[in-house]
Structure 1
Amino acid sequence: MSDHHRTTDDAWAPEACTLPRAERPLRLAEFDKFFTDAVRGLDRLSAQHLRLQLDGSPQVEEAARNLTARESSCCSFFTFGLSRPDADSLALDVRVPAAHVHVLDALVERAVSARRRR
């Protein structure tokens, strides 16, 4: 893994995260796969708010609900909201408080990187 990803990984999991350190690489891999498979676009609406446009399939909706529920349980500073703007798409809003903007920055960086690899 490059130094760039090490820095991003450190930013991804602040001390407020209660996910055991040994499980963090697995969660990162889950997010990377989700970003690669499901994300069709992204908008940084503010420093504290990201909106991901997702494939609208039922499988993606289930994966988004599962992944965000598990992430919320260990990183309570995240607020996730899933909506269906139309029949063929989903939107995932991700919000963080000002103290955790660096975590959202790292999430954006991973999402952009995963989309480039696709």
Structure 2
Amino acid sequence: MSTTNWAPEACTLPTAEQPFRVAEFDALFAEHLTGVARVDPTTLELTLAREAEAATADLTARETECCSFFHFEITPNGERLALRITVPPTQVAVLDALSTRYG
């Protein structure tokens, strides 16, 4: 797994569509990401602008459909939005790649 395509083998999104999904995350985070914190080996917390709530909810819902091991928790907090991403220990490499790419 590379930081260019952090999709794990367990992902059911067709391979041809994976770069487009990564590009969606790239665009969302390029415009709205304000902080990244690695809470523990299986948890990454991102802080985004509150205005990204609908886009974040849509994108994470679609991501869960193809990568069911992801658990996304979105918590509004004033003008910010916390996006907590949790994975099982077998998928820590995915968070490592996300953290490297967006951190």
Q: TM-score if structure 2 supplies the norm length?
A: 0.94
Which of the pair has more CA radius of gyration? 1
**Residue correspondences, number:** 103
CA displacement at 1:8 relative to structure 2: 2.1
Identity of aligned residues (%): 48
Q: TM-score if structure 1 supplies the norm length?
A: 0.82
- Aligned-residue CA RMSD (Å): 1.3
Give the structure with the larger helix fraction: 1
Query: Unpaired runs of 5+ in structure 1?
Result: 1-5, 113-118
SS of 1:93's equivalent in the other structure is: strand
CA displacement at 1:9 relative to structure 2: 3.6
Instruction: Flag as ranges the 4+ runs of structure 1 deviating above 4 A.
Output: none
Query: Unpaired runs of 5+ in structure 2?
Result: none
SS of 1:17's equivalent in the other structure is: coil
Number of the residue aligned with 1:100: 91
SS of 1:7's equivalent in the other structure is: coil
Pair 1:91-2:79 in alignment = no
Number of the residue aligned with 2:2: 7
